Structure 1
Amino acid sequence: MKAKGVVHLQVITGFCLSILMGMLMAENVLAKENWYHFEIIVFEQDRVNSEQFEAKSTTIRLPRRKFDLTRTAYPKSLLLINPIQFSRLNRDDLQLDSVYRHLMRRKAYKPLIHTAWMQSVKSDSSSKPVVVSAPFSMRNPHPVQGYITLQRGYYLHLKVQFEFEKEGVFYLMDQRRRIRLSETHYFDHPVFGVIVYVERLAIKTTTITQ
C-alpha cells in the first residue's frame, strides 16, 4: 500500500509539473504587442558649420531584412479597427503637417520626405526597420534614404540612420536617444535634419513569437 501511495504521489507531482511548464511556455510564446503611429519629416537645410560630416561614397548600412510601406494610404480611423502592418496613413491624419508647412515657408529649409505609418512593436524588442527614401529626380537632385527603429524596453529609445547625398558627397546621420511618446523629436545635422513623432495607439494584440 505504501509503495502504491508513493507511485500515486509521483504521478500527481509529474502531472502538476507538466501543467506548470506548459503555463510558463505559454507565457514565453505569447508576446504582447503595442501599435504605434510613426511619422517622419526629412529636410535639407542650409547652415554654415565648420565640422565635416562627409564622405565620397555611401556609408549607410541598411538592414538586410527591411520592409516597405503600403502604396495605398488608409484612414487612421479604419486602421484602428483593422490594423495593417506598415500601412501608410492619409494626409489628413498627419500630426506634423503644421511643422511641414513651416519648413516650406522658410528659404533655409527644403522638405524632402513627410510620411506616416502604423506598425506594431513587441515588448522587449525593436521595431522592424522600414526604409523610407526620396530618390533622385529632376525635382529632387539630392537623394536621401534611411530608416528609424523603436527599441521597446523599460524605456523607449529611437534609432535614426539616414544618408543625404549632395553633389557627389554623402552625409551620414546615425543617432540614438531615449524618447517620450506623443512628442516631437528633432535629430540635427549641419546639412539636413530629421523630425520624428511616435504615438501609441489604443490597439492591443497578442502574437505568437517564432
Structure 2
Amino acid sequence: MKHLYKKLSLLVLATLVSTMTMAQSADEYLVEVVFFGQPSASLVMGTPPDLDWADNAVKLDETARSDVQSIDPTRFRLSQEARKLEQNGYQIYLHQAWTQPLDNDLDVALSKGEADNGIYPIQGLVNLSKDNLMEIAVSFWRNRKASDLQMSGASIVSENLHQRRPLRLNETHYLDHQSLGMLVRVSR
C-alpha cells in the first residue's frame, strides 16, 4: 500500500509539473523584428531619443528575467525576408527575436552598436499588449553623428519610426516610414 501511495504521489507531482510547464509556455510569445532603411530614401529627421529612453524597459541584451530571453538566430522566422530586403538594396539595421509573456506593462529595449553619451546607433522599444485585440507599439531610432553627415546644428541626427497597430499571431506585419521600415512577427 505504501508503495502504491508513493507511485500515485509521483504521478500527481509529474502531472502538476507538466501542467504548469504547459501553462507557462502557453503564455510565452516569440517576437521578431527586422528594422531596416529604405533604399535611396531621403533622410527624414525625427525626434532623438531621450537619454532615459530605456529606464522603464527590460534591456534584452542585459536581462536576467527568465520570461524575457533572446533566441538563437537559427530559430529566426524572418531570415528569408531579411535576405530578400538586402538583395533589393535595403540596409538591415537590426534583426532580433526573443520570447516574452504578454504583459501590457512590459517594454523590451533593443540596441545595436556602441553608445555615445547614452545614444546607440540603433535603438528601440517594443511593447506587446492586449485589451480587445493584440497590439504592438514600437519606437525605433537610427542615430548618426551630425559630423558624419556633414550637418551642423545638433550633434546627433535621428530618424524615428514610431507606430502602434493591431496584429495577428503568426503573420508578418510591415510598418512603414518614409526612410525606415520594420517587419514584425509575433507567434507562439
| Superposition TM-score tier, normalisation by shorter sequence | 0.5 to 0.7
CA distance in 2 between counterparts of 1:157 and 1:106 reads 29
Mapping 1:37-52, distance limit 5 Å? 37-48=30-41
* 1:118 and 2:108 correspond: no
CA distance in 1 between counterparts of 2:74 and 2:129 reads 28
CA distance in 2 between counterparts of 1:157 and 1:62 reads 21
Mapping 1:59-208, distance limit 5 Å? 59=49, 62-69=53-60, 84-107=66-89, 109-122=90-103, 126-136=104-114, 143-166=121-144, 167=149, 168-200=156-188
Contact 1:47 1:190 in 2 (8 A): no
Q: Which amino acid aligns with 2:170?
A: S
CA distance in 2 between counterparts of 1:58 and 1:69 reads 21
Q: TM-score, normalised by structure 1?
A: 0.61
Contact 1:151 1:158 in 2 (8 A): yes
Question: Match for residue 10 of structure 2?
Answer: none
User: Cα distance, 1:84 vs. partner?
Assistant: 3.1
Report the secondary structure of 1:159's partner residue: strand
Contact 1:68 1:86 in 2 (8 A): no
CA distance in 2 between counterparts of 1:110 and 1:155 reads 32
Question: Match for residue 48 of structure 2?
Answer: 58
Q: Which amino acid aligns with 1:101?
A: R
CA distance in 2 between counterparts of 1:155 and 1:106 reads 33
CA distance in 1 between counterparts of 2:84 and 2:105 reads 30
Identity of aligned residues (%): 26
CA distance in 2 between counterparts of 1:63 and 1:120 reads 19
Give the structure with the larger strand fraction: 1
Report Cα offsets for 1:51-102 as digits up to 9, x if no partner. Answer: x8414x6245724311122579xxxxxxxxxx93221111221110101111
Q: TM-score, normalised by structure 2?
A: 0.68
Q: Greater Rg, structure 1 or structure 2?
A: 1
Deviation above 6 Å: which 4+ runs of structure 1? Answer: none
Q: Which amino acid aligns with 1:69?
A: L
Q: Which runs of 5+ in 1 are unaligned?
A: 1-32, 73-82, 201-210
Report the secondary structure of 1:175's partner residue: strand
**Using a 3 Å threshold, how does the CA distance of structure 1 residues 181 and 58 change in structure 2: closer, same or farther?**
same
Report the secondary structure of 2:30's partner residue: strand
RMSD, matched Cα = 2.7
Give the number of aligned pairs. Answer: 147
CA distance in 1 between counterparts of 2:157 and 2:61 reads 31
Q: Which amino acid aligns with 2:186?
A: V
CA distance in 2 between counterparts of 1:41 and 1:151 reads 19
